[in-house]
Structure 1
Amino acid sequence: MSLITKEEQLQVDGLIEKLPELVEEAKYDELYGYQLDPKGDFYDEEVTKTLVIKFLRANKFDLELAKTQLSKTLKWRKEFNPLSAGFSEDHDEKFDIISYITWYEKNSSNEKVVTFNVYGNVTNPKDIFGDLDKFLRWRIGIMEKSIQILNFKDPDNSSMVQLHDYKKLSFLKMDPDVKNGSKATITIFQDYYPELLSEKFFVNIPTILSWVYLFVSRFVSEETRKKFKVLGNGTDVAKYLGDQIPKEYGGKSKQSLKEQRFDFDNSNKEFQLSEYAAFLLSKQFTEELD
């Protein structure tokens, strides 16, 4: 993350000063597993500054716009409960063939957490996208899991990469269920997860599927579009993400994408939920038992 100017720092300080007001208004103080209430037992000033800067960057350091977006995000998180979607709820195994969260420790700055979304594995769009609520809770859960591997105190691992692979895609037209699911997901990420992506790859897109990229581009900001990379050949991905990725993407790893999937229970990388996320999930579990 690039350094900020003195003028931008003033906006950062201003938004941090507004946090108690925003928390009180939303009646909610959690953002990506971290506490935003400065008086809270789990408050981390360094993490909060990183998160505040993301909202400001997404709004070109306009304090009022960033404040509005953050306020809406807190209210949405209170209602949707994305932490539960990521770490408490059981999702249908049919989704497992689509998304693969991976961790590449040796990769360049902010390319260590990579989520592969292999839509070419989808043979029945209605089965995946037909129930919008189930699809969104699963998809947002994947995002929340990816975020927990990030480190908002480390500028080299404070954002992630997403890759969408359309090889062997079986549906050549925009199915209504696919359209609804895709639009809803894009809107949620754009509105409530600003500046968490360093790059977004669209790979193995033949000309006949150019509508995929055009559709996605319609619903994101210009700054987000600048992070898009469209690759006709999936093996070119290694030119950007290095040799640790699977051979099908041009890497040298002997492991398949499935074998590289990040195991949150048995990972070589020391992983644990943020303290506040663990506290909130434990509290929710206890309340449900009562």
Structure 2
Amino acid sequence: MSDAAVKPTPVESAIAPEVSETPKVPAAETVPVVEAGPIVAEPVSAPIATPAAGAEEVVGAPGNPAAAEEEKAPAVPELAPIAQLWNVALENGHPEIWGVTLADPETHIPTQIVLQKYLNANDGDIVKAKDQLTKTLEWRAKTKPLELIKKAFAKVKFEGLGFVTTYAGEGEASAEPEDKEVFTWNIYGGVKSIEETFGNLEEFIEWRVALMELALQELSLSTATKAITAEYDPYKMFQVHDYKSISFLRQSPAVKSASGETIKVFAQNYPELLKEKFFVNVPAIMGFVYSFMKLFVAAKTIKKFHPMSNGGNLALEFTDSNIKGLGERLPVEYGGKGGDLKALGKEPILSDGQEQ
């Protein structure tokens, strides 16, 4: 999915959607019919039949080697889209996406899920899917997102700004992906210094990617056992952006730059991972902006975005979840009874000094 078309302020808006032919069996070769000669008293050899002048040659007969060779080499059927994407991954050589060590999707469900997401994100367009997959593989080889999970970021810049929470059904653990919900929380209202947090663009993107990779670990794609299709995909997460105390009328160049780069990175490298996105504690003016967005953004994308002026009502949005009482399990500041977000959620590694 590409949610990059929507540009909520001030930070980011997107994390940023076979048939083989059976070769035909060659027809049996046609053997010329030889008529017997007249019966005579003494045995004689039957005359050799020769085609009459101007007669057409029998296709596939021993006298037509080219035709016979053509019959022996049926057309090679085109590979299925997932197999084509797998070949792209093999040619690139980078072995991993989203914590999944890539393997033959014919037998490896996690790889099939990853590749299908790239196909879904491009509405089945195999050319576009190949291009996006290639760019993701190149980006991950260069950025090394899994190593960013182990990197320590400065507390003064990022503490309390991003969390991951996971909720599963009560009782015995279920293998069904529908029985687990993963949330990422971006608390931009908690930014203490815009220049400190957003001033170093590369550092901010690394921190944001580390948060996303933490969420992907909770999604457990590497151990998934249920394949997806264009219509069925439970391996997605909720995202909450909290803009409490942020002014939407003033944006520094650093914030605008961080917003644009985050949209670009996430739309390109994390497709089809967003279930729904909530913008909470936004001023009333954002309602007008949302109405305006509806005129230009595809319906399947805009329906995932929910602006809310009161973050305390967020818990009411999850009455239909497979997780019983999910809303009540959310942090208290969002209408639940689950305690404080900082106590419940996971953060990227933080240090008292500068980033390590």
Shift of 1:19: 4.1
Distance 2:317 2:158 in 1: 27
Q: Deviations over 1:201-231 (max 9, x none)?
A: 1011003567997999999876433311111
Tell which structure's C-alpha radius of gyration is larger: 2
2:99 is aligned with 1:30: no
Give identity over the alignment, percent.
38
Shift of 1:187: 1.2
Q: Helix, strand or coil for the counterpart of 1:97?
A: coil
* Residues matched between the structures, number: 250
- Which residue pairs with 1:243 in the alignment? 328
Distance 2:179 2:261 in 1: 26
- Structure richer in helix, relative to its length: 1
2:111 is aligned with 1:48: yes
Distance 1:178 1:219 in 2: 24
Distance 1:67 1:91 in 2: 34
Distance 1:184 1:101 in 2: 22
Q: Deviations over 1:137-157 (max 9, x none)?
A: 111011011101113326686
- Which residue pairs with 2:308 in the alignment? 231
- Which residue pairs with 1:252 in the alignment? 337
Distance 2:269 2:292 in 1: 20
Q: How does 1:262-273 map to 2 (within 5 A)?
A: 262=346
- Let me know the Cα RMSD of the aligned residues: 3.3
With 228-237 and 201-210 compared, the bigger mean Cα shift is at: 201-210
8 A contact 1:36–1:48 mirrored in 2: yes
Q: Helix, strand or coil for the counterpart of 1:134?
A: helix
- Which residue pairs with 1:169 in the alignment? 246
Q: Deviations over 1:61-113 (max 9, x none)?
A: 11121111111110111111111112x21111231210011111139948711
Distance 2:82 2:190 in 1: 43
Distance 2:271 2:295 in 1: 17
Q: Helix, strand or coil for the counterpart of 2:80?
A: helix
TM, length-normalised to structure 1: 0.75
Distance 2:293 2:210 in 1: 20
Q: Deviations over 1:30-51 (max 9, x none)?
A: 1111122439xxx961111111
- Which residue pairs with 1:284 in the alignment? none
> Which residue identity does 1:228 align to in structure 2?
F
- Displaced runs of 4 or more, over 6 A: 210-221
Identify unmatched segments of 5+ residues in structure 1. Answer: 1-5, 8-12, 266-290
2:77 is aligned with 1:77: no
8 A contact 2:198–2:255 mirrored in 1: yes
TM, length-normalised to structure 2: 0.62
8 A contact 2:182–2:219 mirrored in 1: yes
> CA separation of 1:98/1:263 partners in 2, compared to 1, >3 Å: closer, same or farther?
closer
Distance 2:260 2:293 in 1: 8
Q: Helix, strand or coil for the counterpart of 2:329?
A: coil
Point out which structure has higher relative CO (alpha carbons under 8 A, 6+ apart).
2
> CA separation of 1:127/1:171 partners in 2, compared to 1, >3 Å: closer, same or farther?
farther
> Which residue identity does 2:81 align to in structure 1?
L
8 A contact 2:167–2:182 mirrored in 1: yes
Q: Deviations over 1:115-151 (max 9, x none)?
A: 1111111132111000001101111011011101113
Shift of 1:252: 1.8
Q: How does 1:96-175 map to 2 (within 5 A)?
A: 96-106=159-169, 109=178, 112-152=181-221, 153=224, 158-169=235-246, 172-175=249-252
Q: Helix, strand or coil for the counterpart of 1:112?
A: strand
> Which residue identity does 2:332 align to in structure 1?
K
